[in-house]
A and B are shown apart, each in its own frame.
Chain A
Amino acid sequence: MHHLRDKYAIAGTGKSRLGQVGLNSLALLEEAIHNALDDAGLTARDVDGLVVRGPDDVYSHHQVIAQRLGMDMNFSTSLDNGGASQILSVILAVMAIDAGLATTVVCGYGRDSWTRTHSNETSRMQGNLVPSSQRPREHGPEFGHFGAVSHHAFGARRHMFEYGTTREDFAHIAMAFREHALRNPEAQMKKPLSFEDYMNGRLIVDPFGLYDCSLNSDGAGAVVVTSAARAKDLKQKPVLIKGFATHNNTKGFIAEDHMLVTGAKKSGERAYAMAGLGPKDINTAQIYDCFTYMVMAQLEDYGFCKKGEGAAFVRSGALRLNGSLPTNTSGGQLSEAHVEGMLQIVEGARQLQGIYDATRQVPNAEVALVSGHGGNQVCHSTLILGRA
């Protein structure tokens, strides 16, 4: 048995307001952290560690957040693995506590991308999410190639070519998550999404249309990580950290078969091994859904179906709340809010706490798998959580 399995726990979860909030990312994260601490029955005075996703636009993010909390930290840092950073922050929290560097670590991320992409016409055209100094200056922009939508769309196209997958198949992912969002009062998207709505959505970068793309959201999420022994004595029902792993396809998304086999494959295998579990043991999945296709690729890579059979799997209704693998039960980044995977950790934990009413709750949820993906499309992290 892995020496860290079930030894650490998520003791509290929190979100900020989500959607079109009009508040900067630091303030949003501060709000989510205080909500997570309240949930755990703790205050900022109890926190001695802080791990946050690295700054999109603010230097030394963790220092600025810790200052807002009014706290010096025994351990704090910012991470830079894109959408894989949020699970990585939980992993690093466990490692730091296990090494004796801290006892109670807050992990979180906040972003204000709705505000940043809607402030003026230029920001709408350029998608002002990447600082200009970080944008490529050769081997891409001269061909009209910009940003994450199109890079992930390469993968969707190749999957369509190899396995006969269609946009109609991707629709079932978007529709399932929207249906979940309608059960979630915090979700940014409030209207149903029909198959016709999906197909009529304007194309952004074909094969992705409007409803294949996650939202631009203001929002934040946070979790409190501490030892399972300590968590047992706190206010909220603890959620055990059973397994985790990372794998980064750092040769690049367009290299080898990385468009089709994401980092989820190796990250998942190692996380399953740590947890002593496999895909059949997972009761709910919270999958990083920056784009519909990436959900399909990860479902295959995590072994919920075979490579190339993702289309049939999502068409079966498996992802729905009453399906065989209720997935992104909050609505995910496609319909709740896009906070780079942080809210997926929150949702996985809350489903295992069983705090929701029957309209939203995955019945008898014992084990949840959460995924994180990002960092130039190649970084991946996996978290397997269990009911205490």
Chain B
Amino acid sequence: MLDYKKPVPVPSDESSPYWAGLKQHRLVMPHCDDCDGYWFPPSQYCQHCSSKNWEWKDVSGKGRIFSFVVYHRVYHPGFAGEVPYAVAVIALDEGPRMLSNIVGIAPDKLVCDTPVEIVYDDITPEMTIPKFRVV
């Protein structure tokens, strides 16, 4: 989609499995086999117990809105037609927190701690980004 005007994520060498999962409409996070902890963004050792014994694992895609803000100012031309739009901190049920957008609801209706679940936004043929909707 050549007309996609917003920033397209640039995967790093460490985050490629995360983006590959999203492309298949799966949300995967680093998971430690020793302490059962999850974390995000990825790193080389478990951020809870420093174990190297970890792998990418599917998570539920369910969580809550820990906090959110509503952009009224345009910082990137791709969002010129979008303001006001919300950006939220999602606290996944498994523990990690991540930034995302909440779809299908007006920004002024959002409330912290509202339960949400993931929806997959295929922004280009190669790239899918995670968004959330109120459950």
Contacts and interface: CB of A to CB of B under 8 A. Distances in A.
Interface stretch (A7-15, A135-143, A272-280): A135-143
B112 A161 contact: yes
B69 A141 contact: no
A235 interface: no
B8 interface: yes
A154 B67 contact: yes
A127 interface: yes
Question: Of residues A137, A141, A144, A157, which shows the largest number of chain B Cβ atoms within 10 Å of its Cβ?
Answer: A144
A141 B101 CA distance: 11
Interface stretch (A197-205, A310-318, A347-355): A197-205
A127 B75 contact: yes
A208 B84 CA distance: 13
Interface string A242-254: 0000000000001
A144 B75 contact: yes
A139 B75 contact: no
Interface in A330-362: none
A145 B112 contact: no
Given A143-B100, A144-B75, A154 B9 contact: no
A147 interface: yes
B68 A157 contact: yes
A206 interface: yes
Q: For the complex, would chain A's binding face be called helix, strand, loop or mixed by DSSP majority?
A: mixed
B76 A146 contact: yes
Contacts of B84: 203, 206
A255 interface: yes
A143 B69 contact: no
A144 B87 contact: yes
Interface in A191-238: 202-208
A126 B75 contact: yes
Given A142-B6, A205-B69, A259-B67, A161 B41 contact: no
A138 B15 contact: yes
Interface in B41-91: 41, 66-79, 82, 84-85, 87, 89
Contact of A140 (B66, B68, B99, B123): B99
A155 interface: yes
Interface in B81-135: 82, 84-85, 87, 89, 97-101, 107, 111-113, 123, 129, 131
Contacts of B123: 142
Nearest to B100: A143
B24 interface: no
Contacts of B71: 144, 150, 205-206
A158 interface: yes
B10 interface: yes
A378 interface: no
A141 B19 CA distance: 15
Nearest to B7: A141
Interface in A154-210: 154-155, 157-158, 161, 202-208
B97 A254 contact: yes
Contacts of A142: 6-9, 123, 129
A125 interface: yes
B28 to A, nearest CB: 14
B112 A206 contact: no
B9 A137 contact: yes
Contacts of A259: 67
A246 B112 CA distance: 31
Contacts of A28: none
A208 B72 CA distance: 10
Contacts of B82: 144
Given A138-B9, A142-B7, A157 B76 contact: no
B72 A144 contact: no
Nearest to B123: A142
Interface string A113-145: 000000000000111000000000111111111
A26 interface: no
B38 to A, nearest CB: 13
A143 B72 contact: no
Contacts of B8: 142
B67 A203 contact: no
B15 to A, nearest CB: 6
Contacts of B10: 137-138
A173 to B, nearest CB: 18
28 contacts: A125-B75, A126-B75, A127-B75, A137-B9, A137-B12, A138-B10, A138-B15, A139-B15, A139-B98, A139-B99, A141-B9, A142-B7, A143-B87, A144-B76, A147-B75, A153-B69, A158-B66, A158-B67, A158-B112, A202-B72, A203-B73, A204-B72, A205-B69, A206-B84, A207-B69, A208-B69, A254-B67, A255-B97
Given A126-B75, A139-B9, A255-B97, 7 more contacts: A125-B75, A127-B75, A138-B11, A142-B7, A144-B101, A157-B112, A206-B107
